[in-house]
Structure 1
Amino acid sequence: MTPSAARLTDSLRDIGYDFSSAIADLVDNSITAEATEVNVVIEFDGEASRVFISDNGRGMTLNGLTEAMRFGSRRRYGSGDLGRYGLGLKTASLSQGRCLTVVTRTSAGRRVIQTRQLDLDLIAEFDDWLIIEPARNEIVERARNLLEDGPGTVVIWENLDRVVPMKNSAGGWARRRFETLQQKAAEHLAMVFHKFLSGEVGQGPLVITVNGQKLIPWDPFARAEKATQELVEQVFEIEHGDASGVVTLRRYVLPGRDQFSSQAEFDRMSGPLKWNRQQGLYIYRAGRLVQWGGWAAVRSIDEHTKLARASLEFDTDLDEAFNINVAKMRVTVPSELRQMIERPINEICSLADDLYRKSSNSKGDRDRPVSDNFSAGLDVGLALKAAAMDAGEIGAFKKIAAELRKSDPKIAKVLGL
């Protein structure tokens, strides 16, 4: 039996997106379409507020566009494709507004521009799976102009009932909420796609703008800071059913406040969730960040380990093993992998705990400048401990440290032992 279009489309609106993650899902499509530039425009206009997400990717043919508007579109996803279920365009867009319009062209020049629309009010009226070609109104014309003379796609969200309040939709509170959403969306995209923005993955550096502001990649691991410590990466092989693949673990201890290049950079690296909640695992699927914060039940969040962050990276061939959800915001770390990473995670947290306590102890002595030699000694001590952990000789290291504290306490203090 064919399901009720009106009831099912309304239910699919609550699949788990927020405003920022919904935009990120559409950026996934742009990356799959080999776009090098994505522009997000978030416009406040009371009930007529709207969002444009445009790219310079390869665009879609009429058949491709019509299929893309289908719930559960019939397309094959290759290895590395950021799409998964054939639902993202529809569910992400309609989670925020009741009307989705897509304008697209496949090549440069005067090639015809295709336009299709999903309107939940129309679907509710006829209780049928309707996709229409909308009239050439001002909004559609703006989208066509955004394509200029090249290929690409523009997605338009209208009737933003989940974003704009029903009462006093043109008031100051509604405007401030829109401005806040714009800032949160920019921060979210700069974090989720930081490897694409920096050119670490993809065909080259991706450019994303939000209301004309070019995003700067937010690297959770502060690798540009000289005092950031990176431990030896570890690679694990995972099997799930007929699929198998590798998962890479990279571990970092970020500098304490006094070791950062500036107070402003320390504050920036605290992240959208701030230091305590930003600690933990950052899980990447095909270079795209899908989950962050917390230690995936390996251990709990602790103030003393807030400088510890680690990445888990896997490709799309392990999607089923990680049980990725439709919104691409949550994964489940396989139990066999959780056991493998428990020791490396505890090691990095131990190093972060040591650094935190040393930084805390130094706060009471701020009037006395810390010498370069003393700071270097702490770095050497932490590096030695990390090397001992990687070599599986932490027990021997502790014995050596204890002996050094007896024989030469001054050196032990300089090394932070």
Structure 2
Amino acid sequence: MPGKAWFDVAPSAARLTSSLRDIGYDFPTAVADIVDNSVAAGAMRVEVMIEFAGSRSRVYIADDGCGMSAGALLEGLRLGTRRSYRLGELGRYGLGLKTASLSQCRSVAVVSRSNPEVVRTSARVLDLDVVEEWDQWVVVDPGNDPDVARAKQWLAEGTGTVVLWRHLDRVLPEKQPEGGWARRRFETLAAKTAEHLGVVFHRFLEGVDGKAPLVITVNGQKVRAWNPFAPEEPGVSELPPQRFEVTIGDVTGHVDLRRFVLPSRDRFSTPGEFERLSGPLNWNRQQGIYVYRADRLVQWGGWSGIRGIDEHTKMARAALDFSTDLDSAFNINVAKMRVSLPAQLRQMLEAPVNELCIYANDAYRRSARPKQKPVPTDLNTTPDVRAATQAATTAGLALRAAAMQAGEWDAWQRIAASLRKDAPEIAKSLGLDV
């Protein structure tokens, strides 16, 4: 700034870190943010260990990725790292490791090995007690720390990184951290974390772009992928995929939409699978748009303001994919759990989303109808008549979808009402009787 006086006003590290602890993570989302780093490092296996030991309880998150050199490790603990992110990389702001960890604990240690030929590890600790004492963003050498030494042993076989959380003040109760309630809370957190990781990383757990599936374990138990679109169920129907071009300022990119109608309970392979696919929020609240950023699920449940949740459309789910080059357009938050659909995209999504819900509503109504009693064999049960009936129902559904796509839904409702009044048999054959 030539010709102007300028002043370096460093923020209070103690005050800043206190604010950053409340950025919006809960325990499972904080763990998921650390796993993002493991995925970015090319890890094939991530082990999460949530160990209860009263006030000395610990959380280890270990991976077999490429690891970090001593310099890269120190840079990784910088608040707002200076490193750049590649296209498709899950990182975004250079805050995740720090903010996710400190949202749950007061001390985070990182141990890493980057050379597969030489067993040499680097370890550093970011401790809020030290930061508050010095009022500076300082990182320390752990010295002869037994917990860090244990982490180093896991890296004896190859490269990787271990993140260690201690002094879990946001997890353990301030009073009686040794008690039974605290122990039960740890057990619950382990189960919720496994469930959450199975949801947000389901594509990686299944294998992305021909790559070997990622393996994640929580306390030794392998995490099972939860795919919201039930690809193993033969009763799932998919509408034609669509692609949209989005331009925000000087940023242009593509967004892909896939739409699915899941089968009703009686068409699922087993009752157990029907219950499992209902998801953490259950069927009604799990309907809607599932937003993926670089194959990582970042938001799900609801229709992002396009329409409301409805019992009749609870089997409708849609996948919306965007790449990291559109981050600014989607306003993804630091915790990578919330996005805002660009206004122009929301407008483009209205017709295909409503079309999906028309099909889901039709499937719901057909499954909800009482089973018809068998009728005597006559012309009404011949294959030709049954095929004609099915064709008429399909035609009615297509007409409704076409009216929606053409922006003539109000006109179509008037037509349907007229048919129900003046030609009830035709309305019934077209599936418009309810």
TM-score, length basis structure 2: 0.87
Structure 1 equivalent of residue 5 of structure 2: none
| 1:228 maps onto 2:247 in alignment | no
Distance 1:173 1:56 in 2: 34
Distance 1:352 1:180 in 2: 35
CA gap 1:201/1:416 in 2 versus in 1, 3 angstroms: farther
Structure 1 equivalent of residue 34 of structure 2: 26
Return 351-360 or 157-166, whichever deviates more: 351-360
User: Amino acid of the residue matched to residue 324 of structure 1?
Assistant: I
SS in structure 1 opposite 2:257?
strand
| 1:93 maps onto 2:95 in alignment | no
Distance 2:21 2:218 in 1: 24
- After the TM superposition, which residues 157-306 of structure 1 pair with which residues of structure 2 at under 5 Å, given as runs? 157-201=165-209, 203-306=211-314
User: Amino acid of the residue matched to residue 69 of structure 1?
Assistant: L
Query: Contact (CA 8 Å) 1:109, 1:149: kept in 2 or not?
Result: no
Deviation at residue 358 of structure 1 after TM alignment = 2.5
Structure 1 equivalent of residue 70 of structure 2: 62
Structure 2 equivalent of residue 72 of structure 1: 80
Query: Contact (CA 8 Å) 2:246, 2:254: kept in 1 or not?
Result: yes
Structure 1 equivalent of residue 4 of structure 2: none
Query: Contact (CA 8 Å) 2:394, 2:430: kept in 1 or not?
Result: no
Distance 1:43 1:380 in 2: 59
CA gap 1:382/1:154 in 2 versus in 1, 3 angstroms: farther
Query: Contact (CA 8 Å) 2:395, 2:430: kept in 1 or not?
Result: no
Deviation at residue 357 of structure 1 after TM alignment = 2.4
- After the TM superposition, which residues 36-55 of structure 1 pair with which residues of structure 2 at under 5 Å, given as runs? 36-55=44-63
Deviation at residue 71 of structure 1 after TM alignment = 0.2
Deviation at residue 408 of structure 1 after TM alignment = 11
Distance 1:106 1:377 in 2: 67
CA radius of gyration, larger in: 2
User: Amino acid of the residue matched to residue 90 of structure 2?
Assistant: L
Structure 1 equivalent of residue 340 of structure 2: 332
Return 106-115 or 183-192, whichever deviates more: 106-115
| 1:406 maps onto 2:414 in alignment | no
User: Amino acid of the residue matched to residue 85 of structure 1?
Assistant: Y
Q: Once the two structures are superposed, what CA deviation does each residue of 1:34-87 show, in whole Å capped at 9, x if it has no partner?
A: 111111111111111111001110000111000000000110111101001000
CA RMSD of aligned residues (A): 3.0
Identity %, equivalent residues: 54
Deviation at residue 267 of structure 1 after TM alignment = 0.4
User: Amino acid of the residue matched to residue 330 of structure 1?
Assistant: R
Distance 1:378 1:10 in 2: 66
User: Amino acid of the residue matched to residue 356 of structure 1?
Assistant: Y
Deviation at residue 232 of structure 1 after TM alignment = 0.4
CA gap 1:169/1:303 in 2 versus in 1, 3 angstroms: same
Distance 1:379 1:269 in 2: 28
Deviation at residue 132 of structure 1 after TM alignment = 0.6
Deviation at residue 168 of structure 1 after TM alignment = 1.4
Deviation at residue 387 of structure 1 after TM alignment = 5.7
Q: Once the two structures are superposed, what CA deviation does each residue of 1:294-345 show, in whole Å capped at 9, x if it has no partner?
A: 1111011111211111111000010000001111011000000000000111
Deviation at residue 171 of structure 1 after TM alignment = 1.3
CA gap 1:384/1:148 in 2 versus in 1, 3 angstroms: farther
Return 347-356 or 117-126, whichever deviates more: 347-356
Distance 2:92 2:231 in 1: 31
Query: Contact (CA 8 Å) 1:377, 1:416: kept in 2 or not?
Result: no
User: Amino acid of the residue matched to residue 56 of structure 2?
Assistant: A
CA gap 1:405/1:75 in 2 versus in 1, 3 angstroms: same
CA gap 1:167/1:358 in 2 versus in 1, 3 angstroms: same
SS in structure 1 opposite 2:240?
coil
Query: Contact (CA 8 Å) 1:381, 1:416: kept in 2 or not?
Result: no
Deviation at residue 127 of structure 1 after TM alignment = 1.2
| 1:346 maps onto 2:365 in alignment | no
| 1:139 maps onto 2:158 in alignment | no
Distance 1:74 1:7 in 2: 22
User: Amino acid of the residue matched to residue 293 of structure 1?
Assistant: G
SS in structure 1 opposite 2:246?
strand
SS in structure 2 opposite 1:236?
strand
CA gap 1:151/1:258 in 2 versus in 1, 3 angstroms: same
Q: Give the length in aligned residue pairs.
A: 410
CA gap 1:348/1:278 in 2 versus in 1, 3 angstroms: same
Query: Contact (CA 8 Å) 2:242, 2:257: kept in 1 or not?
Result: yes
User: Amino acid of the residue matched to residue 31 of structure 1?
Assistant: V
CA gap 1:407/1:61 in 2 versus in 1, 3 angstroms: closer
Distance 2:311 2:59 in 1: 39
Query: Contact (CA 8 Å) 1:305, 1:349: kept in 2 or not?
Result: yes
CA gap 1:376/1:82 in 2 versus in 1, 3 angstroms: farther
CA gap 1:108/1:304 in 2 versus in 1, 3 angstroms: same
| 1:113 maps onto 2:121 in alignment | yes
Distance 1:148 1:382 in 2: 65
SS in structure 1 opposite 2:211?
coil
